[in-house]
Structure 1
Amino acid sequence: MSINNQTLLSHLNQLLKPEKVKDYCPNGLQVEGVSEISKIVTGVTACQALIDRAVELNADAIFVHHGYFWRGENPCIVGMKRQRIKQLINHDINLYGYHLPLDIHPELGNNAQLAKRLNIEVIGGLEQQNPQSVAMHGQFETPLTLQQLAKTVEQSLQRTPQIISAGEHSIKSIGWCTGGGQSYIEMAAEQGIDAFISGEISEQTVHVAREMEIHFIAAGHHATERYGAKALGEYLAKSFDLDVTFVDIDNPV
Structure 2
Amino acid sequence: MQSIELQQYLQSFLQVDKFRDYAPNGLQVEGRAEIRRIVTGVTACQPLIDAAVAWHADAILVHHGFFWKNEPQVIVGMKQRRIKALLAHDINLLGYHLPLDAHPQIGNNVMLARQLGLVDARPVTDTPQELLWHGRLAEAMSPEAFANWIGARLGREPLHLPAAKSQIATVAWCTGGAQDYIDQATALGVDAFISGEVSERTFHSAAEQDIHYYAAGHHATELYGIQALGQHLAQQFGLEHRFIDISNPV
1:120-172, CA deviations, whole angstroms, 9 ceiling, x for partnerless residues?
A: 1244323x424731111111232121112111111111011111110143111
Q: Is the 8 A contact 1:125 1:131 kept in 2?
A: no
Q: 1:186 aligns with which of 183, 188, 199?
A: 183
Q: Which residue of 2 aligns with 1:111?
A: 109
Q: 2: CA distance between counterparts of 1:110 and 1:147? A: 24
Q: 2: CA distance between counterparts of 1:14 and 1:249? A: 28
One-letter identity of the residue aligned with 2:204: H
- Where structure 2 has 5 or more consecutive residues not aligned to the other structure, the ranges are none
Q: 1: CA distance between counterparts of 2:220 and 2:5? A: 31
- Where structure 1 has 5 or more consecutive residues not aligned to the other structure, the ranges are none
Q: 2: CA distance between counterparts of 1:108 and 1:120? A: 15
Q: Which residue of 2 aligns with 1:4?
A: 2
Q: Is the 8 A contact 1:115 1:122 kept in 2?
A: no
Q: 2: CA distance between counterparts of 1:73 and 1:90? A: 24
Q: Which residue of 2 aligns with 1:43?
A: 41
State the Cα distance separating 1:230 from its structure 2 match.
Answer: 0.5
Q: 2: CA distance between counterparts of 1:58 and 1:124? A: 38
| TM-score normalised by L of structure 2 | 0.97
Runs of 4+ residues over 4 Å off in structure 1: none
Q: 1: CA distance between counterparts of 2:15 and 2:48? A: 25
One-letter identity of the residue aligned with 1:226: L
1:17-39, CA deviations, whole angstroms, 9 ceiling, x for partnerless residues?
A: 11101100100011110000111
Q: Secondary structure at the match of 1:88?
A: helix
1:133 equivalent to 2:133? Answer no
Q: Secondary structure at the match of 2:32?
A: coil
Q: Which residue of 2 aligns with 1:26?
A: 24
Q: Which residue of 1 aligns with 2:70?
A: 72
Q: Secondary structure at the match of 1:156?
A: helix
Coordinate RMSD, CA, aligned: 1.1
Q: Which residue of 2 aligns with 1:89?
A: 87
Q: 2: CA distance between counterparts of 1:213 and 1:169? A: 11
Q: Which residue of 2 aligns with 1:167?
A: 164
1:38-80, CA deviations, whole angstroms, 9 ceiling, x for partnerless residues?
A: 1111000000110000000000000000000101111111111
Q: 2: CA distance between counterparts of 1:85 and 1:123? A: 38
Q: 2: CA distance between counterparts of 1:121 and 1:11? A: 30
CA 154–123 in structure 1, closer or farther in 2 if over 3 Å, else same: closer
Q: Is the 8 A contact 1:163 1:216 kept in 2?
A: yes
Identity %: 51
Q: Is the 8 A contact 1:122 1:136 kept in 2?
A: no
1:150-205, CA deviations, whole angstroms, 9 ceiling, x for partnerless residues?
A: 11111111011111110143111100010001100111112211000000010010
